[in-house]
């Protein structure tokens, strides 16, 4: 069950990132993330009230705050990279974020089985196959900045996966509510000192940003529950970090971004890795 939750979280993250990247081509990344989290925050507060988990838990609040800081930096960098670069380049680079929780999980003594270890390697090789040809052929003047931003996002996303996992040991909902509060507070301050967004938001874009915020929230919630269900950090984080495959496929389907044969092989390898991880 934990593996299924992690995979579904990856699908939701991939869809949310696709919407966020598209919106960031018309609006600033900070504005997109801020509006998305404004939608997600009330949903989590309602969940907190329904669950009745109202007694403050120090560890959950601390790790949630750290997840918020890392997440603001990661999402801002990622959406900006998606806006100025190609999704089929940026999204797979962001997938390297999984190295952070995998290494930390191993340091904590959470060792995967042989089958799961093979799955991690196969999924990682799939990511390399998916991004390698694009990096080699991309216009460096256009893609260089987006690649750097994608690497910054990867580090931030990796830290988010770790901090949510640690906070969820105490309280899933309090960790995520605190994370969103930090998102809204930090980005609200940032937007106060930035020039006003010259592009008006139409109804279709507002629906898309709501989908972005709810999708991101749902992905975080499912990932946290997967960790709380007893699955190890390395395995769960790998399953939850396949979202770039979803983002790249959506960009190919709806934006016409080209995928080469070797990249299709990379996508296939990622799915094989999922199968091995769940089987292990």
pLDDT digits (tens, 9 = 90+) for 12-43: 999 998 998 899 888 988 899 999 999 999 99
| Predicted confidence (pLDDT) per residue in 60-84, tens digit | 999 999 999 999 999 889 888 878 8
Least trusted range by pLDDT, from 63-67, 113-117, 214-218? 113-117
pLDDT bucket at 102, cuts 50 / 70 / 90: confident
The predicted pLDDT at position 44 comes to: 92
C-alpha triplet 9, 47, 204: angle, nearest 5°: 60
With a threshold of 0.75, does the pTM exceed it? yes
Q: Where does residue 261 rank: exposed (0-12), middle (13-18), buried (19+ CB within 10 A)?
A: exposed
Mean pLDDT across the chain, nearest whole number? 85
Q: Where are the alpha helices (DSSP H) in 58-113?
A: 58-84, 87-94, 99-107
Over residues 173-186, mean pLDDT: 94
* Residue 95, token pair as written in the block: 């997938």
Query: Please, which residues have CB within 8 angstroms of residue 85's CB and are 6 or more apart in sequence?
Result: 142, 143, 145, 146, 147, 149, 150
Asked whether residue 131 carries a pLDDT value surpassing 80, the answer given is: no
Q: Does the structure show a pLDDT above 60 at 134?
A: no
Report percent pLDDT > 70 for the chain.
92
Q: Is the pLDDT of residue 47 over 70?
A: yes
Q: Can you tell me the distance from the alpha carbon of 107 to that of 99, in angstroms, rounded to the nearest whole number? A: 12
Task: Encode pLDDT of 235-249 as tens digits.
Answer: 888 888 878 778 878
Tokens of 224: 């946290």
151, 156, 196, 221 from 231: Cα distances, Å? 27, 22, 44, 15
């Amino acid at each position: 069950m934990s593996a299924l939750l992690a995979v579904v979280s990856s699908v939701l993250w991939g869809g949310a990132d696709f919407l966020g990247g598209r919106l960031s081509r018309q609006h600033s990344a900070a504005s997109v993330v801020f509006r998305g989290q404004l939608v997600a925050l009330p949903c989590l507060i309602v969940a907190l009230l329904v669950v009745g988990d109202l007694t403050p838990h120090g560890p959950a609040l601390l790790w949630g705050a750290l997840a918020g800081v890392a997440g603001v930096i990661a999402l801002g960098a990622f959406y900006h990279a998606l806006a100025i670069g190609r999704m089929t380049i940026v999204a797979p680079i962001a997938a390297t974020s999984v190295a952070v929780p995998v290494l930390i999980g191993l340091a904590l003594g959470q060792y995967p089985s042989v089958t799961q270890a093979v799955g991690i390697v196969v999924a990682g090789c799939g990511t390399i196959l998916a991004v390698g040809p694009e990096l080699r052929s991309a216009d460096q003047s256009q893609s260089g900045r987006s690649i750097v931003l994608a690497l910054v996002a990867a580090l931030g996303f990796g830290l988010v996966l770790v901090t949510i996992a640690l906070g969820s040991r105490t309280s899933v909902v309090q960790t995520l509510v605190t994370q969103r509060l930090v998102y809204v507070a930090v980005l609200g301050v940032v937007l106060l000192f930035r020039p006003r967004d010259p592009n008006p938001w139409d109804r279709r874009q507002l629906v898309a940003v709501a989908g972005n915020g709810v999708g991101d929230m749902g992905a975080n919630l499912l990932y946290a529950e997967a960790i709380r269900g007893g699955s190890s950090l390395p395995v769960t984080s790998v399953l939850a970090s396949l979202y770039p495959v979803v983002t790249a496929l959506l960009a190919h389907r709806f934006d016409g971004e080209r995928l080469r044969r070797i990249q299709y092989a990379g996508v296939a390898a990622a799915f094989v890795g999922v199968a091995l991880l769940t089987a292990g």
